[in-house]
Amino acid sequence: MCRVGVGMGGTVSFLAAAVLFAGCSTPPTAKKRALTELSGLRQRSASSISRQEYWNIEETVARAESHLARGERKRAEVLFDLAAGKAKLLSERLELAQAEKDEPQPSSRDAVSKQTADWDDQLPPPAMDSVSPLPPPAPASPAMAPPTEHLHPQSAPAPVEPAEPQPGEMRSVERGEPAEATETARPRSSVIIGKRFSYTVGKGESLRYIGAKFGVSWRRLAQLNRIDPQKPLRAGQVLRVDTRRIVPRQIDDGIVINIPDRTLYYFRNGEVDRVLSVAVGKPKPVNDPEKRDWHTPTGNFRIIGKVKDPTWRVPPSIRKEMKERGKEVKTIVPPGKKNPLGKYALKTSIPGILIHSTNAPESVYSFSSHGCIRVFPEFMEDFFNSVTEETTGEIIYEPVKMTVAEGQVFLEVHRDIYNRYENLDEQVKSIAQEQHVEERIDWNKVQQVLKRMNGVPERVSF
């Protein structure tokens, strides 16, 4: 629950460049033009687009969104106009290149084919990758707990509480086999992490609290355990929990945050060091389209500051929302139990976006923030101490994840909460083609997974 002020480097150069592309439009008009141009780019073949140019445009839009959310309309207008101009110029260049390519040129066809095979064959809306695939998977790091056998819910011995995952600890790591011909596939996960286990309910704990702690939907918990979510849990009650998930990116060191699965992945030395459930930005209300959204922006970032016991300086946009809802309008919230930032905050290079603790732990693993990344309080201190300034990261948006493990294809699907895809079916087909596994997939199983959207890896191969 935050938007905070962070200085924007390079403002003067952006202002100067924007003059070449834009007149004086209002931010909503400039935003619409930028998103329209960007949408046109996304519909093009990725093999014809420079990933750096595309990501640069996405980053500019994300920065504009952040400034607009804070009520800084002039800065937002400049950046939206700049993004629209860049996207338009890139589109025109691509059209010209396509026209030249359509002319019969036998001598250059092979060279063009080789060039387009050198990188990804699909644009991942909305931000391009900036990481490289890992080398073939190494054995599990000694620092991680050894894999343990999955405890099947129906065969679990009664009411004996097994060891539960410690904060940030990953059990049961499955290494997947690399897809064939991976030289044209963009880096995707070959790792399934997490496990099925039983959890004994503590005093005063709710489905929302347990779901937030382990990164599982409270509705899924109720369904898995066949309990009425309206009834309170009993202390000592044993619940089945499934925390398995596909890691969406593999990097050497740093942070990956995937918005649809509300999860932060922290890497060290090429291994997943810890996984944290998070809360991310609110979508636009379905029943009130006039209200604005609070989307978490995508793109690359780095940690530029660490603050213990932070003070929250409430931005104008949130003060306006407080007033509209009839709440007490606050300008500054000092450290303490009433501070939505909790005890620890990491400043990112994305304007207005923090990774922070919270005074509302049940809100974690939801789409409820004003754009920031909320971490479960119990786990934030250790994570805060592990991360150093200049740690790099990326926020991505991937509701569909797929991997191959032990010869089987697994699919994990989450809601397209920001409505960035017209059809998730097509996204599954596209990823399957990237990984060269479409012929190994039972598409009837795929349809069932898409219908359920359980958010856990499910086998879809024959």
Q: Report how far residue 16's alpha carbon sits from residue 93's, in angstroms, rounded to the nearest whole number.
A: 22
Q: Report how far residue 140's alpha carbon sits from residue 146's, in angstroms, rounded to the nearest whole number.
A: 8
Count CB neighbours of 286 within 10 A.
7
Q: Report how far residue 255's alpha carbon sits from residue 250's, in angstroms, rounded to the nearest whole number.
A: 10
Which one of the listed residues 2, 67, 372, 414 is annotated catalytic? 372
Is residue 347 within 8 Å of residue 307, measured between CB atoms? yes
Widest CA span in the chain: 74
Under DSSP, the state recorded for 140 is P
**Helix extents (H) in 70-131:** 73-102, 106-116
272: buried, middle or exposed (CB in 10 Å: 19+, 13-18, 0-12)? buried
Amino acid code (one letter) for 349:
S
Amino acid code (one letter) for 293:
D
For residue 265, what is the enclosing H or E element? strand 263-268
Strands 373-375 and 354-356: parallel
Which one of the listed residues 67, 356, 370, 414 is annotated catalytic? 356
Count CB neighbours of 56 within 10 A.
15
Q: Is 24 a catalytic residue?
A: no
Q: Virtual CA dihedral for 267, 268, 273, 277, nearest 10 degrees?
A: -30
Is residue 343 within 8 Å of residue 375, measured between CB atoms? no
Tokens coding 449: 């997974």
Q: Is 335 helix (H, G, I), strand (E, B) or coil?
A: coil
Q: Report how far residue 32's alpha carbon sits from residue 118's, in angstroms, rounded to the nearest whole number.
A: 33
Q: Is 372 a catalytic residue?
A: yes
1: buried, middle or exposed (CB in 10 Å: 19+, 13-18, 0-12)? buried
Residues tagged active-site: 356, 372
